[in-house]
Chains A and B, each alone.
Chain A
Amino acid sequence: MSDYISHDHEHDGIDRRGFLQCMAWAGTGLLWTISGGVLVSKTLAQIAQAGDSLPTATDLSFLQISDSHIGFSKEANKDVTATFRIALDRINAMPTPPSFLIHTGDISQLSKPEEFDTFDEVLKSCRTKDVFYVPGEHDVLDGSGKLYRERYLKSVEGKGSGWYSFNKNGVHFIGLVNVLNLQAGGLGQLGDEQLEWLEADVKDLGSSTPIVVFAHIPLWAVYPQWGWGTSDSERALGYLKRFGSVTVLNGHIHQVLQKVEGNVTFHTAMSTAFPQPAPGTAPSPGPMKVPAEKLRSMLGLTSVRYLQGKSSLAVVDSNLS
């Protein structure tokens, strides 16, 4: 499924590039709709053909950006600040600006203050001012994530190593930290303290409350051989099982992957910096060098819309080409 962003081998009669241009902002992607516990996915091409309309009258829309890696300057993308800026331009060009942004980690390449400074400076150009953050492992290279917390988690009053929750339009959002205290040979980790907090955090919520969980490393076993998973995510998801609609948004793997398990939809976002190989298709998960003209088609952002009263969340990815 990760390929649909860059390749379209479906021979469905629609020229991909032309389609992208027509769709402008909406770009490529699958539209996920959860309605009454039944999940329906359609490609945007299918929707266009069927004459259905995209959800326009939304009560809440927000946008996920991820893995900006400001400071990275290797072959895979020598100007990650420029591509981050393009992502923000896309947000600014949206007919209806998103209510807020979620950044799912790896703002920086090396947790350096100047990298965070550059990110903040470029972000100022974004029309949408509210941003919610969770750290990636590249943001907490000092071991504790102190600098990251001071800069990006102060306003949300993160608990423990920085996790928090908030409500918007009847949706309960949970930001989790799974990049600290990693153990040798292990995966991402939430830890007991955070899990106990999560259990208490959702305890009094009605089962019909839509839940959106966001964290850097995928909360499902995407590809443990490359460390793409979280060792204790099962326990976290156990606390969320009774909810009718759970959307899990992650970054880290620099490509779109989706999985549906019961009422839970897992989704990983593209990076704004550089792509990474599909699981197991390369000797290592290192940055993937693609031809310059192809790079922007493999970078992007994710738009999420929630229609109140329909308990549905639509997740749409769009690339930067």
Chain B
Amino acid sequence: MFASPIHHYRPKHTTGCERAVSPLLTYLNTGTLALALVFGLALLTSVRGKDSETKGSVFPKNTKTEIVIDNFTFSPATSTVPVGATVTWTNQDSVPHVLTSVDNQFKKSPVLKAGQRFSNTFATAGTYSYFCSIHPRMTGKIIVK
């Protein structure tokens, strides 16, 4: 229903009175668009809200997140997880890596050989930066919300 006014105004842009009417039209157009956006967003938010509530009840706080170490890279490099989530890293490289928290925010992993996994549960909200202490160019981040 909000799309129709735009369509309605559009042909007028191409008419001869365009120059005189244009500022008003622009104003109207913007206004209508803004209204449509606000309404649309509200609709989306309400749907989303309901969705996450449902999810929350089905999956309590112990969600699991997987991070792969491959080609000297953490994938994904940044993960956002809920409080209480358990993050598991799997080393798919043929070289060892050691997961190390910047400022010791969580326990350092043992040396992860090819195929080995390491998990940590994040009980407190915050941003946890980490890297590989053998290959410090490899960095990643866990955002706990």
Q: Chain A residues in contact with chain B, CB under 8 A? A: 74-76, 109-111, 137-138, 141, 143, 182-187, 224-227, 283-287
Asked if residues B139 and A287 are in contact (CB atoms below 8 Å), the reply is no
Asked if residues B137 and A141 are in contact (CB atoms below 8 Å), the reply is no
Which B residues from 112 to 145 make CB contacts under 8 A with A? 113-114, 129-131, 133-137, 139
Contact flag A74-B94 (CB < 8 Å), given A184-B129, A184-B131? yes
A231 to B72, CA, bound (A): 19
Asked if residues B96 and A185 are in contact (CB atoms below 8 Å), the reply is no
Contact flag A110-B134 (CB < 8 Å), given A184-B102, A284-B73, A286-B94? no
Q: List 9 A-B contacts (CB under 8 A).
A: A110-B111, A141-B111, A143-B108, A185-B137, A187-B137, A286-B71, A286-B72, A286-B93, A287-B94
- The residue on B at minimum CB distance from A186 is B136
A141 to B131, CA, bound (A): 14
Asked if residues B111 and A185 are in contact (CB atoms below 8 Å), the reply is no
Question: Is B98's beta carbon under 8 Å from chain A?
Answer: yes
Residues of B within 8 A of A286 (CB): 71-72, 93-95
Q: Chain B residues in contact with chain A, CB under 8 A? A: 71-73, 93-96, 98, 100, 102, 108, 111, 113-114, 129-131, 133-137, 139
Whole-angstrom distance from the CB of A274 to the nearest CB of chain B?
Answer: 10
Interface hub of A75, A111, A286, A287 (most chain B Cβ within 10 A): A286
Q: Which of B94, B98, B139 contacts A141 (CB 8 A)?
A: B98
Asked if residues B71 and A182 are in contact (CB atoms below 8 Å), the reply is no
Contact flag A185-B139 (CB < 8 Å), given A143-B133, A286-B95? yes
Whole-angstrom distance from the CB of B68 to the nearest CB of chain A?
Answer: 13
Q: Which of B108, B113, B135, B137 contacts A110 (CB 8 A)?
A: B113
Residues of A within 8 A of B73 (CB): 284
Contact flag A141-B95 (CB < 8 Å), given A184-B102, A187-B136, A227-B137? no
Whole-angstrom distance from the CB of A143 to the nearest CB of chain B?
Answer: 7
Asked if residues A141 and B136 are in contact (CB atoms below 8 Å), the reply is no
Contact flag A109-B133 (CB < 8 Å), given A284-B72, A286-B72? no
Residues of B within 8 A of A184 (CB): 100, 102, 129-131, 136, 139
10 closest A-B pairs (Cβ-Cβ)?
A184-B131, A284-B71, A284-B72, A227-B137, A182-B136, A74-B94, A283-B71, A186-B136, A137-B134, A184-B102
Interface hub of A184, A187, A225 (most chain B Cβ within 10 A): A184
